[in-house]
Chain A
């Protein structure tokens, strides 16, 4: 990242220009920089202003919404909107459900995925390439393709009024990418390490827990982050399998909240959206390098 390419977009230095006073050259360079800074400034405003506007709006009273222009700052930190959103709007329940779904899904996805990747990449057996391909094919199939049969199956098994349909579906939806990327990470570990452990008498399960898992710590964290966003932000699966308002995850809750209150009470809706923005922003401030590398890496390889 620190590898920086030289000044391609500038003209090659004309020897006659070297003679000019340094001050004028500096001025010319500053002038040439103005369009760059203007576009950077515009970009920052376009990206940041909507978020700032939403968060500031969440502190406004209904009267301020209706009377003041939209860019006006709130008079004071009015927190009732948040209370309304979390209690009357049911968002606290939605957040609890989202956590109850996301944590087990991630745990299962990563544990099962890492085990499978180890068996497919490090262990030697006939048919492992075909099996890896079978997992890979899953990346290409849209979720819509499994919704109807799963809906029927969950209903027949009697899982419909629990969070299990979501946990199971998310785990399986995430597995292909996790298996594939874990296998790619494992491939980058020198095989000799596992072979040496075997020579030293470690069984393959022991090598898995003592060598592979610690070496994969970074990959585990990165993939957990990537999959966290895809589970937490999902609407399709949550909407399909949520039959009960009290089992709704945050995205489903936000959508129905907007239908119920959004047209008339702006404050609570703004607060509900802002909680989403601010919570993810805090996570992003601390982990942005990992998140960016993980999401971009997952896209290229997947």
Chain B
């Protein structure tokens, strides 16, 4: 029987095309890109081997360091806020609304499927000032405050991007964590309640520790997607004002494809990959230590 399920021809027919395409379009380019990060130039000008010069340049490049900071700031704040708010929503769904949460779950989830570009353009108009002032500033005026030009400042642009990110993804994290909360056995909670744990104490001492694994997966997933933020910040304010909110991904895109610096662009892509790997491993490690304690 195993000789039939081990038939070489079938394996080649079924696996071959996928493996070939994957190798040619993913594995080889990754190695190629790694190699390119030690070169300078582009395909028109030609390439020149420069050793570690690109990495040295990166360490002293203010624009690069600024983009690393933007990426880290965005990823940290976005991850914390979206997982926290998602968890709060999940608690609301499970413990307060219970059976009635299906509609709310669905409605709050919906923005997640909208394209980042459309959402960013929507928020651009929501916070607009000038002849076609958006509702956010109208609300501020209504409260007696002056209009704020959100997209004229780097900090306020980042804040807008974070709110936009929350608006788009809180429902997603809520559903993710909601599924995790439902997995907690009913008896566990019931017995904790009989022991006198209620409300916030129940959440802190019983529900939270039991949902740590799913919270951990959410945090890792969230970091991995927010470190790669691209469409949101590009479409919201073009990485601006200036380059104040330009993340690593946008800096890489511009370096490689607008300034045609293929070598240096590959170096930036490599740094981004390292950043994702380091964060994932770091979260894994710190959590394992906590569990062991």
Contacts and interface: CB of A to CB of B under 8 A. Distances in A.
Nearest to B172: A295
Interface in B130-157: 131-135, 138
B50 interface: no
Interface in B214-272: 214, 217-218, 221, 224, 228, 230-231, 234-235, 249, 252-253, 256-257, 262, 265-266, 268-270, 272
B121 A269 contact: yes
Nearest to B21: A172
Contacts of A198: 1, 4-5
B77 interface: no
By DSSP majority rule, is chain A's interface helix, strand, loop, or mixed? Answer: helix
* Number of chain B interface residues as a range: 35 or more
Contact of B26 (A125, A172, A280, A292): A172
Contacts of A251: 115-117, 231
Contacts of A180: none
Contacts of A254: 115, 117-118, 121, 235
Interface in A137-185: 138, 140-153, 155-156, 168-169, 171-173, 175-176, 179
Contacts of B56: none
Contacts of B198: 8-12
B59 interface: no
A104 B218 CA distance: 31
Given A116-B15, A119-B10, A240-B257, A145 B234 contact: no
A258 interface: yes
Contacts of A204: 4-5, 7, 10
Leading 4 A-B pairs by shortest Cβ distance = A116-B18, A119-B15, A146-B29, A115-B14
Interface of A: 1-6, 8-12, 36, 39-40, 43-44, 46-51, 53-54, 57, 65-66, 69-71, 112-113, 115-116, 118-120, 122-125, 131, 134-135, 138, 140-153, 155-156, 168-169, 171-173, 175-176, 179, 194-195, 198-199, 203-205, 208, 229, 232-233, 235-236, 239-240, 250-251, 254-255, 258, 262, 266, 269-270, 273, 276-277, 280-281, 283-284, 288, 291-292, 295-296, 299-300, 302
11 contacts: A6-B193, A50-B126, A112-B17, A134-B22, A149-B36, A168-B25, A172-B25, A236-B230, A236-B253, A266-B125, A276-B114
Given A146-B30, A204-B7, 20 more contacts: A1-B182, A5-B184, A9-B95, A46-B167, A47-B167, A47-B171, A70-B133, A120-B15, A124-B6, A147-B269, A155-B43, A171-B25, A236-B231, A273-B118, A273-B121, A277-B118, A284-B110, A291-B113, A292-B175, A296-B176
